[in-house]
A and B are shown apart, each in its own frame.
Chain A
């Protein structure tokens, strides 16, 4: 188990290294960042000076290792546009994004687990078909369009909810639903499949043979086992959701790191983009690591492999 964990952590670090290297080369090989920083009216000498100042004249590999060594010390560089340290810019906004992601995954779980459970208890019933229909429609609904439609309906026509900003909890309602609903079909299907499998298992038959009431058979014996893979998948989806927050935060003008990355891309502010890619990638890697370890802990056979 310990060997397995160490191996997984090592691979996770390796992945982050490759991801950061790829993003770095992608952004530095193509456009000339010196041009962006100096501005359109800058003279050739100015651009050359900027190039020297930021070290753009050095080979890309050297630039990458400089960036990497300072990144490992917790310094992700300075924003080209705002001239502020990237770490400060991100730490001021990450709370909003985390809140949004957390609320969204919570919303997805609260919808999908009861729906999946009821569907599994009565396969092919009306409720099951309804849940399936919801899943199929939900999967086809473009997130950003759904968000816009909600704004028109709840924000403009009904005037129930504020449509932009992040000053109160009400500002989070629509973004949460817009971001969270997209995960519900997958989570619901997994809950349903898991519940159907668990409900037909031998230990559920034992629980019934003990004379336990249906409530405790369902909630104590079945749900607990069926829900573990759902939680693991939800952890991975949380990582995806941080990525999805770019569109949602931009639409609702929620100023988290998703919005920040959009803003930075518009201004070709590479250090900021780079840092956010790294943060998203780290989240994904940590969450999948968590999901894998959770599975390995529950199924001792995995770590033997």
Chain B
């Protein structure tokens, strides 16, 4: 005899069978997380612009012509809008092209800095977390020493010492911004070290590098990416500030920070010279931060 309650129960079991797969769950979380979506899309947009800069930019960003200097952007001057959408700077370079190429510089500096600092910080953090004890103490001391150094001032001093160029800026920032990687990796490795399968790997005689690379590293990858976004945003902002003060990328490279520096003397009469590269900087950092925050939320939920 089939009663109504038993029917309902069989439906419930059917639902249980159709439980969403991990991939479906991940997709659902990704699309529920608006900040992740907005951040990722904006970031992809900016990266596309940077990569395709030679094809998108209407003019050569280095092409000077003093006869057409300081042309107003389209919202001030309709006549030149077709040729110079964002106007031109003080030596007559097309501002739109320079803003587009500026994205290249910022992203390049962000990526390379994070690559260098990520390698340094991860190595230090994993070593400290895995071996503990005295090794950990030494690494901790190195981290604290690094934190005590005023990054901006020492970076400026290093640029003075080694000469201002994009390579020096990347090297200096890369050598400075590894602290968060080290701190996060250290604590995660410490937790991972005590997991059962790591102990198991050690028990069957796996070598330490093998354990670190094969067993521990996959666990820390998502946190690593989150830290990388934070540091990338940080590096981009620091480079802009350095270039703005004249201690970073040198003219005529179209770095957003440098453009702000060059536009500063015209800020009272041509404020768009400051507004445009600043907005680019703001949007890029915002996109990276949103992406990082969203990524953290999405991965944290998985671990829960």
Contact = CB atoms under 8 A, between A and B. Distances in A.
A265 B274 contact: no
B157 A142 contact: no
Interface majority SS on A: helix, strand, loop or mixed? Answer: helix
B289 A149 contact: no
A3 B202 CA distance: 36
Contact of B147 (A144, A152, A284): A284
Interface stretch (B50-58, B73-81, B148-156, B187-195): B148-156
Interface stretch (A168-176, A206-214, A216-224, A239-247): A239-247
A24 B53 CA distance: 42
A27 B147 CA distance: 19
Interface in A144-158: 144-145, 148-149, 151-152, 156
B37 interface: no
Q: How large is the interface on A (under 10, 10 to 19, 20 to 34, 35 or more residues)?
A: 35 or more
A26 B154 contact: yes
B153 A148 contact: no
Given A145-B274, A152-B271, A246 B153 contact: yes
Nearest to A185: B289
Contacts of A273: 153, 157
B241 A247 contact: yes
Contacts of A280: 150, 153
Given A15-B148, A242-B150, A277-B153, A148 B260 contact: yes
A36 to B, nearest CB: 10
B111 interface: no
Contacts of B260: 144-145, 148
16 contacts: A11-B144, A15-B141, A26-B154, A26-B157, A30-B162, A136-B286, A140-B285, A142-B240, A145-B260, A151-B267, A152-B274, A156-B268, A242-B150, A276-B153, A277-B149, A281-B150
Interface of B: 35, 141, 144-145, 147-154, 156-158, 160-162, 233, 237, 240-241, 244-245, 247, 260, 264, 267-268, 271, 274-275, 278, 281-283, 285-286, 289-290, 293
